[in-house]
Amino acid sequence: MEHKKEYVQECFTEIADHYDEMNNLMTWGMLKGWQKLVMKKTALKTGDRALDVCCGTGEMAFQARKIVGAKGSVVGLDFTQNMLDVANEKLAKTAYQNITFVRGDAMDLPFGDNTFQAATNGFALRNVLDIPKTIQEMARVVAPGGRVVCIDVSRPKFFLFRWFFNIYYFKIVPIMGHLVDKNKKINSQIPAYTWLAESLKSLPSQDKIKEMFIEAGLVDVDYKGVGFGAATVYWGTKPKK
């Protein structure tokens, strides 16, 4: 992938307006349940501060807000303005005063050390240029005792599910996606939904990602497959000194 940062930004700029509907369609409505597991693993409580890195259209930030309540606060960060615009349009329809969506880079978070009780990242590890750096940044801004939790697509381990997944994810999803991306090349490269599927091929294995969490200094690190293994939730805790 040439000029991956610009390419990824352009992809999400193109598909932002239909991103939420397509996600729900492609995950057969299972997405909300997976996000609930992410939230459970954050161990967030009322009054906490939460950060969602690569927040996109803000779905996970809204879930975090439900937990931290009016006394807490949530920040969603993303580098694609159109995704943030959709998030802000949804925010404007709520009475929430304590969610902020900011533009920024996951690999250089504009927050001080130990700022949040939890940092989440949904379906973006395969989009960032440097996964270890992204996890390190999330670990840096989380306070001791706080959690870092990520979810991304993965390939089921059981061969029958894997066989079905490979057909569905690499062949059918791009066709469904072309309803939205119109099969239009992005920066003279592949269309957006072809990228969303293809990018899984370069995502490191679950064990390698677990290793990255440990190398970022996190403890109690583990992962769990959801949706028959079509996605995996990873979590770790920043140690108390």
Ligand X SMILES: C[S@@+](CC[C@H](N)C(=O)[O-])C[C@H]1O[C@@H](n2cnc3c(N)ncnc32)[C@H](O)[C@@H]1O
Contact residues toward ligand X (CB under 6 A) are 8, 12, 23, 54-56, 59-60, 78-80, 83, 105-107, 122-124, 127-128
CB closer to ligand X out of 12 and 111 = 12
What is the closest distance, in whole angstroms, from the C-beta atom of residue 199 to ligand X in the complex?
A: 9
What is the closest distance, in whole angstroms, from the C-beta atom of residue 176 to ligand X in the complex?
A: 15
Sign of CA dihedral 169, 36, 63, 237: negative
Which residues pair with residue 149 across a beta bridge? 120, 235
Q: How many CB atoms lie within 10 A of CB 6?
A: 11
- CA of residue 212 relative to chain centroid, distance: 16
What is the closest distance, in whole angstroms, from the C-beta atom of residue 60 to ligand X in the complex?
A: 6
Q: State the distance between the two ends of the chain, measured CA to CA, in whole angstroms.
A: 40
Q: How many CB atoms lie within 10 A of CB 77?
A: 24
What is the closest distance, in whole angstroms, from the C-beta atom of residue 58 to ligand X in the complex?
A: 8
Is-contact 33 226, C-beta < 8 A?
yes
CB closer to ligand X out of 130 and 220 = 130
Q: Give the whole-angstrom CA distance, residue 225 versus residue 119.
A: 19
CB closer to ligand X out of 23 and 71 = 23
CB closer to ligand X out of 54 and 233 = 54
Burial tier of 235 (Cβ tally within 10 Å: 0-12, 13-18, 19+): buried
Q: Cβ-closest residue to ligand X? A: 56
Contacts of 80 (CB under 8 A, 6+ apart): 8, 9, 12, 13, 16, 56
CB closer to ligand X out of 87 and 145 = 87
What is the closest distance, in whole angstroms, from the C-beta atom of residue 122 to ligand X in the complex?
A: 3
What is the closest distance, in whole angstroms, from the C-beta atom of residue 6 to ligand X in the complex?
A: 11
Record the tokens describing residue 174, joined without a space: 């791009």
CB closer to ligand X out of 122 and 156 = 122
